[in-house]
Copies of this chain bind each other. A is one copy, B any other.
Amino acid sequence: MERPGEFELIARHFAPIAGPGGLGLVDDAGLLRPARGYEIVVTVDALVAGVHFFPDDPPGSIARKALGVNLSDLAAKGAKPEGFVLSLVLPKGWTEDWLAGFAAGLAGMATENGCPLIGGDTVSTSGPLTLSITAFGSVPAGRMVTRSGAKPGHLVLVSGTIGDGALGLKVHGPDKPGWVSKLDEAARAFLADRYLHPQPRLALAAALQQHASAAMDISDGLVGDLAKLLKASGIGAEIELDTVPLSRAVRAAIMADPALAELAWTGGDDYEILCTASEMEYPALAAAADSAGVMLTAIGRVTAEAGVARYSEQGTARGFVQGSFAHF
């Protein structure tokens, strides 16, 4: 079957995802028009087949993840999505069927989150499929939530449940550890889905923008990403590991193999929000999270000990040798 050229491909599969700023994807550039008094938050994430996803993952899932991880960054920054651009680096042997599935997943994610395509580039490679998405959100000027605003005494909070993505990777991947067979079908499906389809916590974005003192998304593991936030804010934290929210599936896996608790705390692919809030702002933030239907759990408190994270489990101090999962 003959494959379409770049322009046909764009018209057929990507133009339908384009917003007004995309100008029909027939020009050299797209446009962002922030409302008066707003500025643009810019985030970029690259994903490579065999590193960030499996080459034979469903193309729609790959697309959802590629956009989802960027939207997760926007959510953490308290930004409202405004659009994105895509660099699509296609390996030899791609098919139009694959591309149609990819575009359908991308369209779904873009529509569900109000984040239209405004531009892109498509090139070919002798290597693996590679995607780079740059996503744009808007915040009132000067109000992006940074990593650096946490102060001693503030609460440390996380959205959702932690560790699903890291365990989901094991469940979904080709070399399944023994514990996987001890989970029921629903738990396995839940974990694999959490790995494949990150859900950006955009429902929290406005509340974070108004009430959080610092925030970031958890992409490389809670322990490692908390270390980055502490460094940026010049503060420390005391974390009670028993309070870290775990899903039913992760709890079942830890029952089967207690060593998995460490994987849950340190593994990547959570795409939940890690944030801090003062005692005064916390009630409003918690109420907004409740309204949005997103679980938000206090797991500890900010201290003045710059860069030092103290973890305790059932009252006993606990250290981590390897803090963070690195995609790099």
Contacts and interface: CB of A to CB of B under 8 A. Distances in A.
A126 interface: yes
Contact of A121 (B6, B45, B120): B45
Given A27-B146, A28-B216, A48-B123, 5 more contacts: A6-B328, A31-B41, A44-B119, A44-B121, A132-B132
A124 to B, nearest CB: 6
A26 B232 contact: yes
Contacts of A52: 123
Contacts of A147: 26-28
A201 B91 CA distance: 32
Nearest to A122: B328
B43 A126 contact: no
A5 B5 CA distance: 39
17 contacts: A5-B326, A21-B42, A26-B228, A27-B147, A29-B79, A30-B43, A31-B42, A32-B40, A36-B36, A43-B119, A44-B87, A44-B121, A46-B88, A46-B122, A48-B127, A51-B124, A123-B327
A303 to B, nearest CB: 20
A286 interface: no
Given A28-B77, A326-B6, A328-B122, A44 B127 contact: no
A79 B118 CA distance: 17
B51 A123 contact: yes
A148 B47 CA distance: 34
Nearest to A79: B29
A63 B46 CA distance: 18
A283 interface: no
A325 B273 CA distance: 45
Contact of A44 (B7, B120, B130, B231): B120
A76 interface: yes
Nearest to A6: B328
Contacts of A30: 41-43
A134 interface: yes
A47 to B, nearest CB: 7
A23, A88, A130, A231 pick with most chain B CB within 10 angstroms: A130
A120 B87 CA distance: 14
